[in-house]
């Protein structure tokens, strides 16, 4: 993330205490029931997003690295203001689901309309200390 970007809410409730936004990162604690989704504007994202979670005594990390073109108009606009379809769309989005259909987090990205999708995916599982170190190296900030 470049600067102190504000997440653009697509839908659901995202309480302030669940988002930590500081220079160079946004950290979201996906812990609420229901559905929520937010995105980062093209000018604000580096194109790298990650998801870190514990399970079975180990830590898991998924990181996506995507090509983002800051000057291009993306097509997936926030649902939070359906009357205003001119709002800027976000190429990088996080969707958290904790409902009767299951509990999971999606790391989403979108290519500009008519352009090729360019992305890499990395996944790690192991000792918490090692995985936190990898997260710091790939995401540029130590996870809380």
Q: Which two tokens stand for residue 68?
A: 């983002």
Mean pLDDT of 12-39: 85
The mean pLDDT value for 73-84 works out to 71
Find out whether 64 and 119 touch, Cβ atoms under 8 Å.
yes
pLDDT band at 23 (very low <50, low <70, confident <90, very high): low
How high is the pLDDT of residue 16?
87
Where are the chain's structural domains? 8-139
Q: What is the mean pLDDT of residues 66-90?
A: 76
Per-residue HEC secondary structure of 25-48 comes to EEEECCCCCEEEEEEECHHHCCCE
For the residues 104-128, what does the mean pLDDT come to?
91
Nearest one of 18, 25, 29 to 3, comparing CA atoms: 25
Give the three-state DSSP class for 51: strand
Q: How far is CA 13 from CA 9, 17, 48, 99, 109, in A?
A: 8, 11, 24, 14, 21
Q: What sign does the CA torsion over 97, 36, 48, 75 have?
A: positive
Q: Which residue has the higher pLDDT, 113 or 137?
A: 137
pTM of the model: 0.81
Rounded Cα distance, 7 and 69, in Å: 18
pLDDT at 3 over 60: no
């Amino acid at each position: 993330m470049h600067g102190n970007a504000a997440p653009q809410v697509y839908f659901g409730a995202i309480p302030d205490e669940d988002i930590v936004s500081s220079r160079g990162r946004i950290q979201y604690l996906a812990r609420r029931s229901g559905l929520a989704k937010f995105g980062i504007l093209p000018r604000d994202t580096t194109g790298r997003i990650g998801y870190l979670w514990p399970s079975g005594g180990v830590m898991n990390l998924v990181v996506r690295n995507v090509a983002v073109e800051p000057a291009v108009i993306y097509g997936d606009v926030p649902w939070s203001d359906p009357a205003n379809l001119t709002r800027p769309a976000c190429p990088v989005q996080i969707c958290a689901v904790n409902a009767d259909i299951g509990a999971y987090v999606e790391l989403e990205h979108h290519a500009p309309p008519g352009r090729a999708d360019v992305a890499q995916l990395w996944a790690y599982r192991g000792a918490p200390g090692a995985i936190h170190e990898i997260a710091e190296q790939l995401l540029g900030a130590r996870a809380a």
